[in-house]
Structure 1
Amino acid sequence: MAEVSAETRSPAKTLVESHLEGGVLTLTLANPPANALSIAMMEALKGALDRAREDERVAVIVLGAAGKVFSAGHDLKEMTAHRADADRGRAFFARTMALCSSLMQAIVRHPRPVIAAVDGVATAAGCQLVASCDLAVASERARFATPGVNIGLFCSTPMVALSRNVARKHAMEMLLTGEMIDAHTALSFGLVNRVVAPQALNRTVMDFAQTIASKSPLTLKIGKEAFYAQAEMGLAEAYEYAARVMVENMMARDAEEGIGAFIEKRQPQWRGE
C-alpha cells in the first residue's frame, strides 16, 4: 500500500503533497494557479527533501505540480509587500534568495536522483527549479522562460542553474530576451531530457524513475555526487578525483555483487553497501 504524507503551512493549506510508492517519492507543488516559490512553499519543499535524505525507502524523487503552471517563480506579491519595511525589503529579499539558493543546492546535493515532471509553465525561479533537477521530462504543453529582464529584475539566480544545463548562448538568449520557449525548444537547448504527449507524461516519468530505482542505491548516490563534483574541476583534477571514486566504488559490496551477477547472468541483489 502506498504511503501518503504532506507538508503543510497550516492545517488548512497543503503546499507540497508527498506520495511514496515502489521506492519513488512524488512531491507535488500544490498551490495553484501559480505554485509560486513563496517562503512557505520553499520551506515545505526543502523540508520534504531533507526528510527524504533519511528515508531508506526512497530511491528516486519525482517533482511535479498541480494545475497549469509548474511554478511561476518567486511570489512577487509577497516580496513587494515587504517594500513597506524600514529597509525597503532588503532583509526579506536576502532571506528569500538565500532560501531559494539553499533549496536548489539541496536538490543538486541530494543523494537520490530528482526528476522534474513538467506539465505546464515554468518561469524564473520555476525554470531554475527544473534546471536544478537531475533529469526533466516535459509534456508538449510545457513552456519555459527566465523573464525577469521584462520587469527590470534580471534572473541572476535562475542563471546559475540554467547556465550549468544549457549552452552559454542558449542561456543568454533566454536571460536577455525573457521570451517563452516551448517544450521542443527546451529539449533542443538541453533543458529537458524528453518531451511527450500530456497523457503520456506520468507513465514516462514513472518508467524513468522505476528504471533508475532498480539500480544500487549506493551506486546512484556515489555517481550523482561525483558527477556534480567533477563538473566543477579542471580536466586533470577531475580524472584524479573520478579515479579515486571508482576505486572506492569497486570496494563496495554492491559493486562486487553487480559484477558477479553480470558474470553469472543473474539479477543482482542490492544491499546498499
Structure 2
Amino acid sequence: MTEPTIQVKVHQAVGTISIHRDEKRNALTRTMIFDLIQAFRDLHGEKKVRAVILTGGGSAFCSGLCLDEMHQIIQEDDNLERWHQDTSTLAELLQLMLHFPKPIIAAVNGPAIGFGAGLVLASDLAIAGPEATLGFPEPKRGIISGLCAPLLFFRVGGRHAARLLLTGETISAQRAAEIGAYDEIVPAKNLWAYGAELTKQIAQSAPQAIQQTKRHLNDTVGEQLEMLISLGAAASATSRTTEAAKEGLQAYIEKREPEWP
C-alpha cells in the first residue's frame, strides 16, 4: 500500500503534519492541497493537541505547487474557472491556518519555495534548519505570488517583501532569519524536538488564552489579511491565463530559458 503524501501523527500534546513527495521535493498537487486542509481539520478537534508542527519529509520542506500539473492545466482552453477554483482552495488553506485555534510551528527542514514559503508564513512560528531556503520564483514562470504576498508583507515588511517578490531570488536560512521570515535556526536533526519544546511552553498557558491571542494577532493586527489573500487568489488565477504563464511553464518543462512575449 502506498504511503499517503500528507501524514498526520499525534504524540502527547504535539500534532505533526508532514509532507511526503520526496521525488518532487514535496511539490504540492491539487489532491495534496485537499489532504492538507483535511489534516488541519482532523487536528482541530484533538483536545490534547496544543500545537501542530508542519514539516517536510526528505531534504525539502515544500518546493511549492506542482508545475507539471499546472502545465497540464494551462494547455486547456478557457481554463480561468479552473484556475479560480484552484486558487480559492489555496486561499482556503492559508485562511484555515490563520484561523486554526492552536499555534502552528513550521519546522523548515529544507527549501521552502513559492506556496511552500507561503505555508511557512501562514504558520505562527517558524524554526529552520541550516539548509532551509526561502523564495518566490513565480515571476520567472510568468505568474505572480498573489496569495503569499500579503503574508510576506505581514511577516517581514514592505521593503523585504518587494525585493523577494520582484527579484524572484531564493535566500538562505540565515538571511531569512535576519529579515524575520524564520524565527531562528537550529540543527536539522533537532527541528521536531525543538518544536516539541516550544509546544511544552505553549501548553503552560490556558488554551483559550492562546486561541484568543492568535485571533487578536491575525484578525486585529493583521485585520486585512483574509481579504488580501482572497484578492491575491483572484490575481494569481488571472496571471495563469496569460501568454507569459504559458511560456514560463513551457520553458520549465523543456528546461530552457523563457522567451517572454
**Range of TM-score over shorter length:** 0.7 to 0.9
Work out the CA distance in 1 between the residues paired with 2:195 and 2:71: 36
For residue 176 of structure 1, give the secondary structure of its aligned residue in structure 2.
Answer: helix
1:52 aligns with 2:58: no
* Cα distance in 1, alignment partners of residues 187 and 88 from structure 2: 36
Asked if the contact 1:137/1:194 (under 8 Å) is kept, the reply is: yes
| Equivalence map 1:19-38=2 (5 Å) | 19-33=9-23, 34-38=25-29
Residue by residue over 1:113-139, the C-alpha shift from the partner in whole angstroms, topping out at 9 and shown as x without a partner, is 000000100101000110110000001
1:149-188 to 2 correspondences below 5 Å? 149-188=139-178
Residue 169 of structure 2: SS of its match in structure 1? Answer: coil
1:71–1:123 Cα contact (<8 Å) kept: yes
SS of residue in 1 equivalent to 2:82: helix
1:62 aligns with 2:70: no
In the alignment, residue 142 of structure 1 is paired with which amino acid? A
> Does the 8 A contact of 1:79 with 1:93 survive in 2?
no
Partners of 2:80 and 2:28 lie apart in 1 by 18
Shift of 1:181: 0.5
Give the 3-state SS of the residue equivalent to 2:15 in structure 1.
strand
Structure 2 equivalent of residue 39 of structure 1: 30
- Hey, which of these two has a bigger chunk of strand by percent? 1
Give the C-alpha shift of residue 48 in structure 1: 0.9
| Structure 1 unaligned residues grouped into runs of 5+ | 1-10, 235-273
Could you tell me how far 1:203 is from its partner in structure 2? 2.2
Q: Partner of 2:234 in structure 1?
A: none
List structure 1 runs of 4+ shifted beyond 3 angstroms. none
Percent sequence identity is 25
RMSD of aligned alpha carbons = 1.6
Task: Return the TM-score normalized by structure 1.
Answer: 0.78
Give CA-to-partner distance per residue, 1:146-188, whole Å, 9 cap, x none. Answer: 0112222121212121111102110111001111101111111
Which residue number in structure 2 is paired with residue 222 of structure 1? 212
| Higher normalized contact order (CA 8 Å, seq sep 6+, divided by chain length) | 2
